[in-house]
Structure 1
């Protein structure tokens, strides 16, 4: 059962992970590795040069699974948030999505006769291209703008509100892919492999939705506050 109240700096990091294993992704995106023994969250963050308040803000925001902004989220490290988001992009594009594709190829029959299999792969590749385009835009434009803003430079005509307006939920097509496999893939294949890749798709869909929420409800408000400070 997941913890219902907020995690605090004095909680043991091991209790945090054992209480909600999905937070392993949050740890890795803050460049925190396993092997921390009985150290507290604050001790682990301090030892790795990670802003503890920002780390816990993301952890508690994701754990609560709502879009309510708590008072303690008003003074977060934009640098730490950007690093978290960049690491998430790297994970999706260079690890999770390629892994799902390899598992798809292994699970489905790609013979000439199986048109549904080719449709699934074609759909998946188009989806990955869309995700890459979206995340490359963030890496090259949004994060560069924010880095300049942190340095006190606001000469660019870009504003974070532009990013917020164009930032749709990029996990939508995963739902379509999932439905194609569940509803239309013919029986007779390896159910273990197919169910395993479906499990990964469900997990990726949830992870992407969580990623977008962190951008929309933590990162964008933090940058909006910074824009007001930098004249």
Structure 2
């Protein structure tokens, strides 16, 4: 006797699996009404996705999400707020409310936040001229952070290690870092003195012919380098070759400072490569049409 396959019609509609209805993580396919929980106070995620998000920062930022909850998931967003010159006391404001209160483009803010969360930006997304002015201000703030915060901090940690240990590798470490940061400063000076003034001029819609002809977004892109890459060599030197013991607290602080600098330099490069340079090329095409 062939048994009839049980029909699913007797299963209550609200208990069937509805992936997109109950989980805000794009592409989730393993949730139902009984297997969901609230992450922070901004949205529902299935338990698996919520668990993943507590251990990683790849959450897609949306305008209705509360900024405090996003920071709790990914503290690196504090760096982003600092570069936007936004105070960390965000209260219960959503992303949209925070942007409105500080006069920042919501579209731009969300795209940069998604970069900090490990997500890419959509190719050739349109940005206004005001957006690009805000991008340049953001990048200038990050330059100040590298010069005035991270370089002195890391140099101080290396000097403290030298005071406590006689390992000759520490001299090499200091030399390597100072030479590396000299390259970083040269890169930042180039952007501050040549690239950014060019983009500001480009955004002013100048009618003076030939004013911007001696430089272009493409030339800036060709000059652009991934200045964060050499930090990997520095970390490898510390992990594999510097022969010192103890001082774990100080060495951990040095590692964290290097990782933070490397991460923010990487985002800095992504913003230039995925937002500023493509938008500059588009404006040049408009003006030359």
Common fold by TM > 0.5: yes
Q: Confirm whether residue 93 of structure 1 aligns to residue 147 of structure 2.
A: yes
Do 1:174 and 1:201's aligned partners in 2 also have CA atoms closer than 8 Å? yes
2: CA distance, partners of 1:222 / 1:11: 27
Q: Give the structure with the higher percent helix.
A: 1
2: CA distance, partners of 1:187 / 1:7: 42
User: Mapping of 1:111-130 within 5 angstroms?
Assistant: 114-130=167-183
> Rg larger in 1 or in 2?
2
**Greater relative contact order (Cα 8 A, min sep 6): structure 1 or 2?**
1
Task: Give the 3-state SS of the residue equivalent to 1:31 in structure 2.
Answer: coil
Aligned to 1:201: 258
2: CA distance, partners of 1:140 / 1:208: 19
2: CA distance, partners of 1:227 / 1:106: 50
Correspondence for 1:74 among 123, 126, 132: 126
CA distance 1:171–1:64, shift in 2 (3 Å): closer
25-34 or 113-122: which moved more? 113-122
Shift of 1:50: 1.5
CA distance 1:70–1:4, shift in 2 (3 Å): farther
Unpaired runs of 5+ residues, structure 2, are 1-52
Correspondence for 2:187 among 130, 134, 153: 134
Shift of 1:196: 2.0
Do 1:12 and 1:39's aligned partners in 2 also have CA atoms closer than 8 Å? yes
1: CA distance, partners of 2:88 / 2:57: 20
Correspondence for 2:80 among 5, 26, 29: 26
1: CA distance, partners of 2:61 / 2:235: 33
- CA deviation vs aligned residue, 1:126-162 (integer Å, no higher than 9, x gap): 1111100001100111110010011123613100111
CA distance 1:209–1:175, shift in 2 (3 Å): same
Aligned to 2:284: 227
Unpaired runs of 5+ residues, structure 1, are none
Do 2:132 and 2:276's aligned partners in 1 also have CA atoms closer than 8 Å? yes
Matched residues, number: 228
102-111 or 218-227: which moved more? 102-111
CA distance 1:180–1:64, shift in 2 (3 Å): closer
Do 1:104 and 1:197's aligned partners in 2 also have CA atoms closer than 8 Å? yes
2: CA distance, partners of 1:173 / 1:30: 26
- CA deviation vs aligned residue, 1:148-181 (integer Å, no higher than 9, x gap): 0111236131001111112111012211111122
Task: Give the 3-state SS of the residue equivalent to 1:126 in structure 2.
Answer: helix
Task: Give the 3-state SS of the residue equivalent to 1:9 in structure 2.
Answer: coil
Q: Confirm whether residue 155 of structure 1 aligns to residue 155 of structure 2.
A: no
Do 1:124 and 1:177's aligned partners in 2 also have CA atoms closer than 8 Å? yes
C-alpha RMSD over aligned residues: 2.0
Aligned to 1:106: 160
Taking structure 1 as the reference length, what is the TM-score of the superposition?
0.90
